[in-house]
Structure 1
Amino acid sequence: MKGKVAVMTEPGRLEYQEYDLPQPGYGAVLLEVLRSNVCGSELHIWRGHHPVKKRGGIGHEMVGRVTALGEGVSTDSAGETLSVGDRVVATYFQTCLSCPQCMRGQYNLCDNAYEFFGLQPEDSPHFHTSFSTHIYIHPRQHIYKVHEAIPDSVAASANCALSQVYFGLDKIDLKYGETLVIQGAGGLGLMGVAVARERGARVIIIDSVKQRLEQAKSFGADVVINIDDYPEVTERQNLVKSLTAGEGADVGMEVAGVPAAFNEGVTGLVRRGGRYLVMGNLSPGRTIDFDPGLFTRRAIQVLPVDRYDGRYLFKALQFLENTMDKYPYEKLIDAEFDLCCVEEALDKSASRQVTRASIVIK
């Protein structure tokens, strides 16, 4: 049998390639992809902003069904029995457990995380990314069974949107009663609202897309700020200060992917002595003017977070199960596309014609 892979031949151009389905080796699993979402990372790649990836397969946020188990695989990464036909989610990266970062316990910074994800589709076992009919899960990738309570449309967002913000907000130590300001109301921002609300935090969220802000309200955001209504940076900063007794938020979270958002956050959205989590700016080389003296005077603690500890994918699934009736997760996806229409999905996502697109594999 053959499977199909959507391949970016260069930024902004796509073609499809077919390969024989591989038999999984020891400790590996072959999945049939059921659904894969368009994440902000794909848009960075599609626009040519990624520092390394200029061609190859794309897609990583997905839910799939087990079609073949390699020798030695009988359970998922949490020890739950795994069988052919089970629905699962898996990390798109591996945790090698032997590089300097893994040896320090910084598993999200594994030096070999993309050993397989970064391979070209012509390299065996071919199915390295999720905009495809199948995906090959290697032994050092985390894989977890999805329970019946979580539909495909929700499970696909566990990796990476929910896992990423869950991990990031743990690292920045968001506390009960604090105010969080989120820059960006895409998938990560909206999941961030849910996680923050479950921690008892007050949430202010900023974006320029009205539909995204309406979704943020439905997820429990206390205040939404439309950039179109407050086009100047100082206007937005002053508004946030007015909402926080003149100080600014305790914690900021940047998931906008816009370099200027960093300056806006550390110079006025977050209070003096506050904390600032950076996850959206992923493209080296896109720079901004920066005032280090002001930064020092404001004493902001900045924490950049790259990827997440793979165990957080399991935590994300538990979070979804426990809150399925509280948040409108299924409404996060506002456009669905067949595998044949990946290019359209990427273009419409990049132009913000859709908030969050999903590729449904039929």
Structure 2
Amino acid sequence: MTKVAQKMGKVAVMTEPEKLSYQEYEIPEPENGAVVLKVRRTNICGSELHIWQGLHPTKRKGVLGHEMIGELYAAGKDVTTDYAGNPIKKGDRIVSAYYITCRKCTPCVEGKFHLCEHAYDFWNKDPEESPHFHGTYATHYYIHPDQYFYKVPDNVSDVSAASANCALSQVYFGIDKARVTYNEFVVIQGAGGLGLNAIAVAKEKGAIVIVIDGVESRLEQAKQFRADYTLNFNDYLSTENLADAVKQLTGGSGAHVGIELTGNPKAFAEGIYYIRPGGRFVSIGNITPGKLVEFDPGLLTRKSIDIISAVRYDPWYLYKSLQFLSANNGKYPFDKILDAEFSLDEIKTALDKSASREVTRATILVNQD
């Protein structure tokens, strides 16, 4: 086992919604099969905002953060490669899935690794519980055994890789589940981080992409990601009017595939209006149970639309995402997705500004030496 000097690290702890404090703990020695990372950059994701605002169904406190890139600080016994078999050494840049894949529970045995019953066994725990560094809003991050991690290709920047373990991997997984293929029309609801990544993946599948959002700056960014068409929903009087606009762009039939990435239940209800009969609708953005909306099941049935929901992703999609970033380096402006940088001591400001939409995608710079 690699010996780690008993040095101190810092974690940002949400004591209750919208309240943050900092605590210091000894950097732990990794157990067999585990690694410790030194955090380089960690992002403000929509999941953190839900927790920060008290909207998450279960999480009310703990160490936040999951979207990140770090560098290898220490490795446990016999850990010499990542989960793709690539050799690793101290200082290598690493990203990890933010959840556990035990490979023993019922979903795992059935091949549904993204639904592992133990996925969140260590997620956002209180820092008092060893190994303390449970989230990425910290100087260090503990990757447990059965938590997939991968070395970042040399030609992929920190900015691009920091979003790979959440936004990119999630939409890549959902788009594959929807079997998106060449020359299909794909309508994407939401041009935030998930939406921009989804555009790139769909374009590489050969799809014709239509993006719907209500913020013009986001739609401009969608165009930079090679969206074929953008529609501002504020320009239309009703869902039916917007659906007509989608039909005009798709030869009168509607999109083959719709992807909801807004987190707004209303967007889910509206999505089926944009999809042609026999199409597919992927639901990823709405993750908070109990948020209800009126829905037209008769229209869904009449159109025979397949609903595909996707939470998390099979962990090897993180490796596929890194390969995607490497292969398309420079083709899409992944380095421009993050529009505001903060220090570790400014996390509360970053969260508040993100919640008020003063910034679109904030990132926290930690160990930059």
Which TM-score applies when normalising by structure 2? 0.96
Match of residue 79, structure 2, among 62, 73, 80:
73
Aligned equivalents of 1:296 and 1:269: distance in 2? 14
| 1:174 alignment counterpart | 180
Match of residue 345, structure 2, among 340, 347, 357:
340
Which runs of structure 2 are paired with 1:113-192 in the superposition (5 Å)?
113-192=119-198
Shift of 1:273: 1.4
Which runs of structure 2 are paired with 1:162-311 in the superposition (5 Å)?
162-230=168-236, 232-266=238-272, 268-311=273-316
| 2:3 alignment counterpart | none
| Number of residue pairs the alignment of both structures matches | 361
CA contact under 8 A between 1:211 and 1:355: conserved in structure 2?
no
Aligned equivalents of 2:14 and 2:125: distance in 1? 13
Equivalent position amino acid for 1:66 in 2: L
CA contact under 8 A between 2:64 and 2:124: conserved in structure 1?
no
Equivalent position amino acid for 1:234 in 2: E
Shift of 1:118: 4.0
Match of residue 63, structure 1, among 69, 78, 94:
69
Match of residue 351, structure 1, among 343, 351, 356:
356
Equivalent position amino acid for 2:365 in 1: V
Structure 1 window deviating more from structure 2 (14-23 vs 134-143): it is 14-23
Shift of 1:12: 1.6
Equivalent position amino acid for 1:177 in 2: N
Structure 1 window deviating more from structure 2 (276-285 vs 10-19): it is 10-19
Aligned equivalents of 2:237 and 2:80: distance in 1? 55
Aligned equivalents of 2:236 and 2:328: distance in 1? 33
Equivalent position amino acid for 1:17 in 2: Q
Alpha-carbon displacement from aligned partner over 1:124-152 (angstroms, at most 9, x marks no partner): 00101111110000110111011221111
Query: Secondary structure in 2 aligned to 1:294?
Result: helix
Query: Secondary structure in 1 aligned to 2:50?
Result: helix
Equivalent position amino acid for 2:263 in 1: G
Aligned equivalents of 1:265 and 1:147: distance in 2? 36
Which TM-score applies when normalising by structure 1? 0.98
Structure 1 window deviating more from structure 2 (172-181 vs 285-294): it is 285-294
Which runs of structure 2 are paired with 1:6-45 in the superposition (5 Å)?
6-45=12-51
Alpha-carbon displacement from aligned partner over 1:45-89 (angstroms, at most 9, x marks no partner): 112121111111111010001111111101111111111111100
Aligned equivalents of 1:212 and 1:231: distance in 2? 20
RMSD over aligned Cα atoms: 1.0
Moved over 6 A (4+): none
Aligned equivalents of 2:365 and 2:122: distance in 1? 23
Equivalent position amino acid for 1:314 in 2: Y
Alpha-carbon displacement from aligned partner over 1:257-313 (angstroms, at most 9, x marks no partner): 0000011001x1111211000000000000011222222112110011010000000
What percent identity do the matched residue pairs reach?
54
